[in-house]
Structure 1
Amino acid sequence: MSEPLHAGAHLRVIPGRPSLSSPLLQVDGVSLEYRTDARVVRATHRVSFNVHGGDRFVLLGPSGCGKSTLLKAVAGFVPPAEGEIRLEGRRVAAPGPDRIVVFQEFDQLPPWQTVKQNVMFPLRRSRGMGAAEAAEVALHFLNKVGLAQFADAYPHTLSGGMKQRVAIARALAMRPKVLLMDEPFAALDALTRRRMQEELLELWHDAAFTLLFVTHSIEEALVVGNRILLLSPHPGRVRAELNSHQFSLASQGSADFQAAAQRIHQMLFDQPAETASARGRAHA
């Protein structure tokens, strides 16, 4: 049975219970491993969680807990050593256009293509759109991220934040069932990072997509997510799942926000993994 958090934190950790609707994405007892020259290393151990349509679901944990590897497994790049990942009830076995990844690196855009061509390329290749339709869709989503005026620019002329906005526009233009983001703002300066968080939330309110987001920042998790999965240090195990929909960028600096951040820090680092695993998973 879960223990309630301190009231001032305004977070809930409650036992798992059947949902009224079927999850869009199910990660069921997934262990992930990779090989080094010396041995096989376990990155995550029997991780389970559900993501529902429209969720902003955050994987939060310290460096080395396997959260990025878990995201790559959902994308279909890494096969589970144990357990199963299902999207709409079907096992994930390979990458697909229903799961698009936005990475941390700024140089994920082919430099020989213009901004508009970068957004058009997967639409034509994976969605089979003609040039005119792909151009119309590309400009629509570039306008959404405020970059329509840079449609004919090349990536090397853009700032890091602008490149990430192009990558987000390209991903959303594909209309994936789940948008996967792997610490996409980690390398940005503080002011640009905050602006990118604002823009992401504005896009979510406008388009209502489903988001699976990886971060090691507690504050970013509280701002971006409506649900947060806490992963223990290596190998990543589920510590708890929290409801955090009550927080926003406007909450930062408030006593409730700071109390919640402190409580999450304690849960991540101050309690044994076997105790935390008994806490269950939260549901809205």
Structure 2
Amino acid sequence: MNAHLQGHTVSNLQAVATSPLLHVDNVSLEYRTAQRVVRATHHVSFEVGKADRFVLLGPSGCGKSTLLKAVAGFIEPQEGTIRLQDQAIKGPGPDRIVVFQEFDQLPPWKTVKQNVMFPLQVSGTLPRQEAEQRALHYLEKVGLAAFADAYPHTLSGGMKARVAIARALAMQPKILLMDEPFAALDALTRRKMQEELLLLWEEVRFTLLFVTHSIEEALVVGNRILLLSPHPGRVRAEIHSHQYGLHSLGGSEFQASARRIHRLLFDEEQAQNQVFDLDFTDVRIAY
């Protein structure tokens, strides 16, 4: 490994090692069906630093959405602990806001502005006037200030997604949790939303935990990617990813990286709880 790459890798690892915001330690999660108890994840550990764009990536059924729900406080681990700023997560809280893929959760009788204001008021976070000011601030951030008085049924799917993101960020959570938020959108709108999410992150620098089963989306959105095995989800590898951006889609280097991640996900001989630094041209072991 050359000196430049080594220094870059050491810097990455030091950033990960110092004061993680979120610490998931040896977590196993289960859920019940009518017939049996199903283990969704098995002994999963990872850390998320402040302003990370951390992606949980894996095939359907690997437990990535279940992990996100556990971080949100909706599910209690059977084994292990989840801590946010060294405080054990015991249930849902305004410090963790979830954006799901179903944007029709926006109450249709409320305007866009009222939808963004609602959690601020119902949680007692802000009085009405301050809630309105903050709602307008974040609607401007997502490019919807002109639609503040519109109703959800008049909006496109992408616009509803932006309202949901504005509503979440207006709560100023310690970590934003997004569960396949663009999966229901058409391909062109999905790309646009990925781009807008990255531009918003550049401005606000929020901490993001993002779930997807798309390798391409993980490479575009994440600066760190945790690969989970098929059911039950176990950690296959962690990747420190350079930012490709949407301009890289379809490029030979991007596609080569996507193929390498696919092999790491599904070939147990290639990855067992390892951490990688993903270069534009190669995958290198960081330690």
Please give the TM-score of this superposition, normalised by the length of structure 2: 0.89
Q: Secondary structure at the match of 1:277?
A: coil
Q: Deviations over 1:91-139 (max 9, x none)?
A: 0010000000000112121112111001001111224312111111101
Q: Secondary structure at the match of 2:119?
A: helix
Q: Secondary structure at the match of 2:271?
A: helix
Q: How big is the shift at 1:237? A: 0.3
Once residues 275 and 246 of structure 2 are traced to their aligned partners in structure 1, the CA distance between those partners, rounded to angstroms, is 28
1:83 equivalent in alignment to 2:85: no
Once residues 129 and 184 of structure 1 are traced to their aligned partners in structure 2, the CA distance between those partners, rounded to angstroms, is 27
Match of 2:265 among 258, 264, 268: 268
Q: Which amino acid aligns with 1:158?
A: L
Q: Deviations over 1:135-161 (max 9, x none)?
A: 111011111111111111111111111
Match of 1:164 among 161, 164, 174: 161
The unaligned stretches of length 5 or more in structure 1 are 5-11
Once residues 199 and 51 of structure 2 are traced to their aligned partners in structure 1, the CA distance between those partners, rounded to angstroms, is 14
Is this contact kept in 1: 2:23–2:48, CA < 8 A?
A: yes
Match of 1:211 among 208, 212, 216: 208
Q: Which amino acid aligns with 2:272?
A: S
Q: Secondary structure at the match of 1:204?
A: helix
Is this contact kept in 1: 2:235–2:273, CA < 8 A?
A: no
The residue number in structure 2 matching 1:26 is 23
Once residues 15 and 108 of structure 2 are traced to their aligned partners in structure 1, the CA distance between those partners, rounded to angstroms, is 47
1:119 equivalent in alignment to 2:116: yes
Question: Structure 1 110/81 Cα, relative in aligned 2: closer, same or farther at 3 Å?
Answer: same
Question: Structure 1 278/70 Cα, relative in aligned 2: closer, same or farther at 3 Å?
Answer: closer
Root-mean-square deviation (CA, aligned residues, Å) is 2.0
Is this contact kept in 1: 2:121–2:128, CA < 8 A?
A: yes
Once residues 273 and 190 of structure 2 are traced to their aligned partners in structure 1, the CA distance between those partners, rounded to angstroms, is 35
The residue number in structure 2 matching 1:64 is 61
The unaligned stretches of length 5 or more in structure 2 are 2-8, 278-285
Q: Which amino acid aligns with 2:38?
A: V
Count, aligned residues: 270
Q: Secondary structure at the match of 2:199?
A: helix
Match of 2:33 among 31, 36, 55: 36
Please give the TM-score of this superposition, normalised by the length of structure 1: 0.90
How high is the sequence identity, in percent, across the aligned residues?
Answer: 72
Higher relative contact order (CA 8 A, sep 6+): 1
Name segments (4+ residues, structure 1) moved above 4 Å. 16-20, 280-284
